[in-house]
Structure 1
Amino acid sequence: MSEEQHGHSRADVERFSDAEKPINAAVDADVVDFDGPDDPDKAMNWPPGKKAATLGMVTVMTLLSPIGSTISAAAAKDIMLHFNSTSNTLSAFVTTVYLLGWVCGPIVIAPLSELYGRAVLYKVCIVLFLLFNVACAVANSLASLIVFRLLAGIASSCPVTLGTGSIADMIPPERRAGVMGAYVIGAVLGPTIGPIAGGYLTPALGWRWAFWLMAILVAPPCLVVVLFMRESYPSVLLQRTAIRLRRETGNPRLRSALDTGRTTREFFRCTIFRPFKMLMMPIVFLLSLYTATVYSYLYLCFTTFPQVFSLQYGFGSGPSGLATLGLGVGSILGVLFCGGVSDKLSVYLAKKHGGEVKPEYRLPSIIIGGVCVPIGLFWYAWTAEKRLHWILPIIGTGYLGAGMIITYMAATLYLVDAYTVYAASVTASNTVFRCLCATFLPLAGPALYERLGVGWGTSLLGFVAVAFIPLPCFFYMYGERIRESKHSQAQFSAI
């Protein structure tokens, strides 16, 4: 049985640390392995309908998660009035504390998924997400609302953390970008839908109904996921088969081909720190820093749009929410571009350079996104500053949305292709860093605009985005050499 038949490529298997290398089933009769490369129990061999249903559930959860993150943005003013608070920082924090949950959640969710599987985490977390949104709706103090928002964010981080791992379980690399595009549409549309829904619902029914609406939206998918979500993680599938065969045969020596030999406590202790260890790897750190910076701009817009469009154009709560449509449309165009181009470009570059597909062939797309981001920021900055027609700054945010999603998708595809064995952990490390920045940078938004104005305040962010443009070019040229260096291999072995 070759390494490829375990669901990982030979290069992936070689990256396992010595303690985690899969056991060779060919030399041990007590090892339980998949029944050949075409075993129907492997998620990679599931029927198209079963794959589509599973990824559809993951995509819907991924859509609902960011809706929850921004639905309170337009209601922040009403929430502050209700709880007799005048703090602009707290007003922004009610929205961004949810992203702090996306920082905390992956730290535990990623290792738990590698131990117990993805399906059980999806089920537990969506139930908790429903309950904590109800808790937000009935919160009787600002402190309790912030705590429940944090807990809702932790629960909702599950599909964001595990979604790329589920795709890697079921979809081969040469078709992964297109499926990733469909999955990311949920993450793209969610942040845009939230402020629109909250902007119109809050004046009509009050701020609590923003959270009741979330609970109503989550309830049907929650029932479907609990009833129909199936496990796809190869390691857990083999472990379950080994347990069943031990019970049926009475042979206690049977074990999974992907069994690391560690106890549950040892495994969890190792994996819970893995996202942080991976974040210390130069490529993972720098790409995560880049995507974190760009992603935080998105939430800076969500938390400052009511202020900017109210002062500059006299927009009310509802129209200020509609201003996020530019980000949404731009993000969808970014998804279509990256989903349609990334796989084809990777195959083209592989043929041009000898036929081997390398993760670095995902990186040229980031250059396009990297150029779009500062264009969007400068466009939005000065059209809003000069109070030109309101459609112009919204068009500018379209470029920002496209650049953000292209950068995010291409960087995620690169990291998943480069570290497939630990797809959930590398996604978690990226998510933790990205959401940490998105939690706290927007808190500086009101003060930034008060001191520098919309024009120079946003331009400052644009200059930072310009400084990042050479990064994907550097990794395209030297990324493989860095990944295969002795230092990087030693770091990976220590994970």
Structure 2
Amino acid sequence: MSTFRKWVAIVVISSASLCATCASSVASFTEAGEAATFGVSKEVAILGISLYVAGLGVGPLFVGPLSEVYGRNIVYRVSYLLFLIFTFPVAFAPDIGTFLAFRILTGFCGSAFLSVAGGSVSDMFANEHVANPMAFYTMSPFIGPVLGPLYAGFINQNTDWRWTYRVQIIWIFVEVIMLFFVRETYVPVILKRKAARMRKETGNDKYYAPLDRRNQSLLREIVVSCYRPFELMIYERMALLLNTWTALLLGILYLTFQAFPYIFEQNHGFNVQTTGLAFLGLGVGIVIGSLTQPFWNRIFARESAKYNGNPPPESRLIIGMAGAILCPISLFWLSFTTYPAVPWIVPELASIPFGMGMLFVFNAVFTYLVTAYRPIAASALASNSFLRSSFAAAFPLFAGAMYDKLGTVGATALLAGLTTLMAPLPFVFFKIGARLRQNSKFTTR
């Protein structure tokens, strides 16, 4: 596959990931409309976010094995078609039960792009070239939750909340069409199809691919996929701690969907659509962070030269060190500038370093998991997806109570303190990670 076609595939897969994650955050701006339409409390309406994100976390445990048997493309296309179909009952739900049931189903269907897509990136690019495409892909699922409030705020300020999901249906339909222009990237499936074609053309049954000789059933693959991510986190301290770090950051991102109304509506008098615009700071930070990738590539090239072109996976954690510093600084800055007397632009600017730091952390952890656990990269990414989605589903549920009890300063400072506790991880693992991997049955040496 040419470099151009590879990047076309990366763009399409990333935009589909953007759409799937954007669908999670738009629900934060439809809560008031849902509560009024269905006659439920705000706490029940918040489940629209939590259940969708829970679906995003559980889905990779099942779709990962399917992609390794049938290929990436069939999983993408089928899951996105179901994503499209199941979004209709969300947009036209007659009651809260239907709405919530199909929110978790749409989350499940959209989850393929949070685990399988990372596999597609590693399929197409070797270790020494994977940084740029992985950085591009890593940006998309985090721009998604930030993009959602930007347009959902305007929709819900000016028209019925259901239009939020009707717009989503149009976007998903466009993505479904684009996915049919992406070629298969999973080499074992490509070889299987080539062997089948050669058997048909030559009539010689001796042509076969490794997948043709699989002794393990698909059901067993799914069972293994469901327990291996947990096995990995139980036995691998690095994987567990790095996954917990990313889970905390994503939980904080999803918590902002409840926190920003406290900070900008109550303290600065913003309305719904301008509160949505307050998420621009996070988006700007993510974009700025992505533009620094050439700088990090040069650093990685120097690391690669030290090891004769075969650097250890720990070299991928260097970018995470910057993120480990930026995230606590951003949250402490935000926490102590949330007073009404402080101009709104000051806390808005404080969110920019958090967007940058979050991108750096996820870039480091994703590429580390893919390179260090390459034999089971799908399981490693699935373990990360499950844990971070669990945090992201839970954090919005207690955000309101936390901000009511502690206030905007205390609650945000508490989050800053938690990120400070996790900050040493990339520095520690950069030093001792290689030694820890020597005793691992999962990692590459």
TM bin (shorter chain): over 0.9
Query: Which residue of 424, 428, 436 corresponds with 2:390?
Result: 436
Structure 2: distance between partners of 1:252 and 1:286? 49
Alpha carbon RMSD of aligned pairs, Å?
1.9
In the TM superposition, 1:245-324 aligns within 5 A as 245-252=198-205, 254-257=207-210, 259-280=213-234, 281-324=236-279
CA spacing shift, 1:272–1:256, aligned 2, 3 Å: farther
> In the alignment, which residue of structure 1 is the partner of 2:24?
69
What SS does the corresponding residue of 1:154 show, helix, strand or coil? helix
Structure 1: distance between partners of 2:108 and 2:221? 22
In the TM superposition, 1:93-172 aligns within 5 A as 93-172=47-126
> In the alignment, which residue of structure 1 is the partner of 2:38?
83
Structure 1 residue ranges, 4+ long, deviating more than 6 angstroms after superposition: none
Distance apart, 1:63 and its partner CA: 1.4
Task: Normalising by structure 1, report the TM-score.
Answer: 0.85
What SS does the corresponding residue of 2:242 show, helix, strand or coil? helix
Task: Normalising by structure 2, report the TM-score.
Answer: 0.94
CA spacing shift, 1:354–1:231, aligned 2, 3 Å: closer
Query: Which residue of 195, 199, 209 corresponds with 1:242?
Result: 195
Deviates more, 1:397-406 or 1:260-269: 260-269
Deviates more, 1:242-251 or 1:64-73: 242-251
Deviates more, 1:203-212 or 1:235-244: 235-244
> In the alignment, which residue of structure 1 is the partner of 2:285?
330
> In the alignment, which residue of structure 2 is the partner of 1:22?
none
The alignment status of 1:52 with 2:7, answered yes or no, reads yes
Indicate conservation of the 8 Å contact 1:342/1:362, yes or no.
no
Residues 470-491 of structure 1, C-alpha deviations (whole Å, 9 max, x = no match): 1111110111111111xx12x5
CA spacing shift, 1:77–1:387, aligned 2, 3 Å: farther
> In the alignment, which residue of structure 2 is the partner of 1:230?
183
The alignment status of 1:466 with 2:403, answered yes or no, reads no
Indicate conservation of the 8 Å contact 2:153/2:276, yes or no.
yes
Indicate conservation of the 8 Å contact 1:188/1:332, yes or no.
no
Structure 2: distance between partners of 1:261 and 1:251? 22
What SS does the corresponding residue of 1:417 show, helix, strand or coil? helix
Distance apart, 1:177 and its partner CA: 1.2
Residues 323-369 of structure 1, C-alpha deviations (whole Å, 9 max, x = no match): 100111011112222x2233322221232355531110011211110
Structure 2: distance between partners of 1:257 and 1:236? 9
Structure 1: distance between partners of 2:254 and 2:299? 30
Deviates more, 1:64-73 or 1:207-216: 64-73
Structure 2: distance between partners of 1:316 and 1:432? 34
Indicate conservation of the 8 Å contact 1:95/1:303, yes or no.
no
Structure 1: distance between partners of 2:339 and 2:392? 24
The alignment status of 1:195 with 2:149, answered yes or no, reads yes
Indicate conservation of the 8 Å contact 1:64/1:190, yes or no.
yes
What is the one-letter code of the residue matched to 1:77?
A
Indicate conservation of the 8 Å contact 1:184/1:335, yes or no.
no
Deviates more, 1:340-349 or 1:399-408: 340-349
Structure 2: distance between partners of 1:132 and 1:434? 24
Distance apart, 1:421 and its partner CA: 2.8
Deviates more, 1:70-79 or 1:474-483: 70-79
The alignment status of 1:413 with 2:360, answered yes or no, reads no
Give the structure with higher Rg (CA): 1
Residues 268-292 of structure 1, C-alpha deviations (whole Å, 9 max, x = no match): 4333433222233222111100110
Deviates more, 1:421-430 or 1:111-120: 421-430
Deviates more, 1:113-122 or 1:52-61: 52-61
Structure 1: distance between partners of 2:118 and 2:309? 25
Query: Which residue of 204, 207, 212 corresponds with 2:166?
Result: 212
Query: Which residue of 480, 487, 490 corresponds with 2:434?
Result: 480
Query: Which structure 2 residue ranges, 5 or more long, are not aligned?
Result: none
> In the alignment, which residue of structure 2 is the partner of 1:14?
none
Structure 2: distance between partners of 1:173 and 1:435? 27
What is the one-letter code of the residue matched to 1:256?
A
Query: Which structure 1 residue ranges, 5 or more long, are not aligned?
Result: 1-45
Structure 1: distance between partners of 2:424 and 2:3? 40
* Equivalences, count: 442
What is the one-letter code of the residue matched to 1:273?
Y
What SS does the corresponding residue of 1:95 show, helix, strand or coil? helix
Indicate conservation of the 8 Å contact 1:75/1:202, yes or no.
yes
